[in-house]
């Protein structure tokens, strides 16, 4: 008898493997293509933490109602190691093996641009919460984003330093091998020179990913006569740049971008970053309403204030869930359901996120405002001003 029961159990296990979804017919699977290791692991951590808050909230309330059926959420996290090739491999795995309905991420443009091509080719909806490079969504109907674009952020930074610091000459320092800083540096330069004329960017210095000594570039910048330094680098590089600049005698303003907005920045940078500004997606200090509620819940659960990546991941995940609900019912055919999800994402209008209200353009990019943050004397990212399209 015991042997017969065992055999039945083995057969059932084999049947489960042969029939995909036999145990998961009431489950919606969403993939997360995020950097849990590599150069920016805090980005992956914040992404996963925010996503888990969404999953626990929805499942704890009984699940996600779609049409006349309710589903539990299953979130699958793939580590892209902050590498382009790993991001494409993660996308392929999530799409073809895990059979997810849609994917959140990658976050940074260096991974989101190539992964976006994979998602579009496989006709699987993707939302990048944090990638601001236009290439991520361009000519890719299955790819969306939860943030503003660099062609908007570049002018925001150029106008801000002009108005706030009365800057007439600017210097730029960026990683030429990375899509995000390279693109944003170009947009800033174009915008600044449009305001002040050709040649007003008096130093345009580059380095390559993994470089840690910027003394040669910064020496040129210090001697250039620039009134401000713009450096759109990631939070792990900013402290090195800022500290080396100060050691070389730079005492003028330094302006950054949304890639500064990590909870790790001040741990790495300390007093050197206090008083500096950067453009970003939301400000934790002084937040109100749903944004404040999110921050308090996140802080209570994980022990630190969420950065913009976490907030954007929260919004992007809810955007995808809203679009799933707007299908009014899933067929069980993964290809048809992915198409339906894509169509509903494209129709999103006036979505109230904690990083602002957003409506998707035909390119899959949200129309939304940017925030300029000042790093105050306490090292907190405090709201300074809002800039809208």
Separation of alpha carbons 163 and 251, rounded Å: 19
Q: Answer yes or no: are the C-beta atoms of 171 and 230 closer than 8 Å.
A: yes
Mean pLDDT of 122-141: 97
Domain final position from 248, 280, 312: 280
pLDDT tens string 250-301: 999 999 999 999 889 999 999 999 999 999 999 988 899 999 999 999 999 9
Per-residue pLDDT tens digits for 208-225: 999 999 999 999 999 999
Report the C-alpha gap between 20 and 50 in whole angstroms.
28
Q: Tell me the per-residue pLDDT of 144-182, one tens digit each, with 9 for 90 and over.
A: 999 999 999 999 999 999 999 999 999 999 999 998 999
CA-based nearest residue to 150, from 127, 130, 167, 177 = 130
Residue 102: which of 56, 150, 64, 152 has the closest Cα? 64
Nearest Cα residue to 33 out of 92, 110, 103? 103
| Helix (H) / strand (E) containing 295 | helix 289-302
The domain in which residue 355 lies consists of 26-148+289-368
Q: Is it the case that residue 15 has pLDDT exceeding 70?
A: no
Closest CA to 192 of 211, 167, 217, 174: 167
> What are the backbone dihedrals phi and psi of residue 250, each rounded to the nearest 5 degrees, phi first?
-70, 120
Of 242, 262, 280, the last residue of a domain is 280
Higher-confidence position of 314 and 16 = 314
CA distance 363 to 274: 37
The mean pLDDT value of the chain amounts to 92
Question: Which range has the worst mean pLDDT, 17-26, 226-235, 244-253, 301-310?
Answer: 17-26
**Whole-number pLDDT of residue 14:** 37
Same domain, 121 and 235: no
Rounded average pLDDT over 183-192: 97
Are 248 and 307 in the same domain? no
pLDDT of residue 75: 98
From its phi and psi, is residue 166 left (phi > 0), alpha (psi between -120 and 50) or beta?
Answer: left
For residues 160 and 252, membership in a common domain is answered with yes
* pLDDT band per the 50, 70, 90 thresholds, residue 24: low
For the chain, how many structural domains are there in total? 2
Q: Which of 123 and 5 is assigned the larger pLDDT?
A: 123
Statement to judge: residues 108 and 31 lie in one domain: yes
Tell me, yes or no, whether 383 lies in a domain. no
Specify the pTM: 0.84
224 and 184 in a common domain: yes
- Report the share of the chain in percent with pLDDT over 70: 94
- Tell me what the mean pLDDT of segment 81-109 comes to: 98
Of the residues 280, 313, 332, the one at which a domain ends: 280
Work out the percent of the chain whose per-residue pLDDT is above 90: 89
pLDDT value of position 40:
93
Q: What is the CATH number of the domain that holds 174?
A: 3.40.50.2300
Tally of residues, the chain: 389
Residue 185 lies in a domain: yes
Give the Cα separation of 230 and 211 in Å (integer): 18
Confidence of residue 101 (pLDDT cuts 50, 70, 90): very high
């Amino acid at each position: 008898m015991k042997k017969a029961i065992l055999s039945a159990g083995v057969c059932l296990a084999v049947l489960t493997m042969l029939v995909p979804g036999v145990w998961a017919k009431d489950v919606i699977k969403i993939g997360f293509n995020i950097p849990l290791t590599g150069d920016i692991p805090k980005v992956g951590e914040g992404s996963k933490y925010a996503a888990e808050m969404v999953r626990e909230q929805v499942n704890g309330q009984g699940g996600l109602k779609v049409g006349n059926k309710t589903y539990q959420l299953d979130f699958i996290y793939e580590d892209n190691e902050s590498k382009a090739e790993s991001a494409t491999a993660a996308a392929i795995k999530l799409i073809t093996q895990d059979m997810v309905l849609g994917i959140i991420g990658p976050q940074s443009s260096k991974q989101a641009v190539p992964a976006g091509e994979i998602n579009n080719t496989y006709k699987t909806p993707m939302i990048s919460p944090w990638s601001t490079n236009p290439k991520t969504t361009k000519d890719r109907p299955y790819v969306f984003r939860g943030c503003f674009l660099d062609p908007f952020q570049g002018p925001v930074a150029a106008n801000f330093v002009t108005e706030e610091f009365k800057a007439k000459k600017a210097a730029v320092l960026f990683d030429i091998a990375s899509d995000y800083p390279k693109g944003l540096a170009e947009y800033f330069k174009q915008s600044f020179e449009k305001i002040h004329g050709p040649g007003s960017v008096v130093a345009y210095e580059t380095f390559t990913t993994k470089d840690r000594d910027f003394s040669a570039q910064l020496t040129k910048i210090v001697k250039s006569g620039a009134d401000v330094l713009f450096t759109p680098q990631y939070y792990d590089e900013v402290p090195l740049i800022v500290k080396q600049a100060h050691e070389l005698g730079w005492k003028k303003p330094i302006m950054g971008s949304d890639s500064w907005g990590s909870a790790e920045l001040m741990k790495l940078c300390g007093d050197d970053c206090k008083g500096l500004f950067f453009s970003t997606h939301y400000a934790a200090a002084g937040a109100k309403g749903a944004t404040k509620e999110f921050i308090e819940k996140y802080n209570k659960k994980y022990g630190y204030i969420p950065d913009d990546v976490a907030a954007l991941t929260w919004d992007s995940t809810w955007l995808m869930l809203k679009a799933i609900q707007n299908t009014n019912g899933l067929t069980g055919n993964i290809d048809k359901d992915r198409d339906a999800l894509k169509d509903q994402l494209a129709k999103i209008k006036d979505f109230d996120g904690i990083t602002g209200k957003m409506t998707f353009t035909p390119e899959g990019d949200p129309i939304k405002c940017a925030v300029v943050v000042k790093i105050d004397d306490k090292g907190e990212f405090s709201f300074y001003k809002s800039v809208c399209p």
